[in-house]
Amino acid sequence: MSLPLLRAGLAVALCALAGTAFAAPQDDGQWHGDPRGQYRHDDGKPDWQRRVEQHEREQRHRERDQEWQRRQQDELRRRADWQRDRDEAWQRRQEAIINRQAGYRVYDTGRYRHDHRWERGRRYDGPIVVVRDYDRYRLRQPPHGYRWVRGDEGDYLLVAIATSVILDIVSR
């Protein structure tokens, strides 16, 4: 082989190896610091002390997470209570609207009472107390398909059995 060819081959080999020399680690392969020169793992503390500090950091993280979860549960409970109160208030308003439309008044006894007087031609939707001994109360015999009913204010109403429409009213 000629000398110039040998020199060229040697030059190529040296150039190829020069690139790998810069990439090779310059120390023992351990990480000793960041680019700012702060040595975090090589602080001179014994291993047991670093383990204790790590355990304390993990404990603080766990406590912080548990506190966050507790606050989240409290918030969910507060929202559920608020929603339940809101639903109950809505239900009370709806019942008041229905009772007002039906002409009922709510008393402390918990029973409903009609606010209006009975009229002929209206439907009777009060309590059903059928009067069978109409002669005793000086009422005429009801026609076929009708019956006497005692109203909630002491009135006697002649009511159709099938439709509950008031035909006659006797006040006493």
Task: Tell me the pLDDT tens digit for each residue of 53-67.
Answer: 999 999 999 999 999
Local confidence band at 75 (pLDDT 50, 70, 90 cut-offs): very high
What are the strands, taking DSSP E only, across the chain? 104-106, 112-114, 130-131, 146-150, 156-160, 166-170
> Picking from 36-40, 82-86, 116-120, which range would have the lowest pLDDT averaged per residue?
36-40
Higher-confidence residue of 97 and 137: namely 137
Report the pLDDT value the prediction gives residue 70, as an integer from 0 to 100.
94
Q: Quickly tell me which residue has 């993280």 as its tokens.
A: 61
CATH architecture for segment(s) 117-172: Roll (3.10)
pLDDT over 60 (residue 136): yes
- Summarize pLDDT for 16-52 with one digit per residue, the tens: 777 665 665 555 556 655 555 555 555 678 888 989 9
Q: What is the DSSP letter of 125?
A: -
8 A C-beta contact, residue 78 and residue 86? no
Residue 95 has what pLDDT? 81
Measured in whole angstroms, the distance separating CA 53 from the mean position of its chain's CA atoms is 41
pLDDT score recorded for residue 65: 94
Cα–Cα dist 1/76, whole Å: 87
Residue 113: Cβ within 10 Å count: 14
One-character DSSP codes across 148-166: EEE-TTS-EEEEETTT-BE
Highest mean pLDDT: which of 45-54, 63-72, 146-155?
Answer: 63-72
Indicate the pLDDT class of residue 13, thresholds 50, 70 and 90: confident
Confidence band of 102 (pLDDT split at 50, 70, 90): low
Provide the pLDDT for residue 69: 94
* Rounded CA separation 167/157 (Å): 7
pLDDT at 61: 95
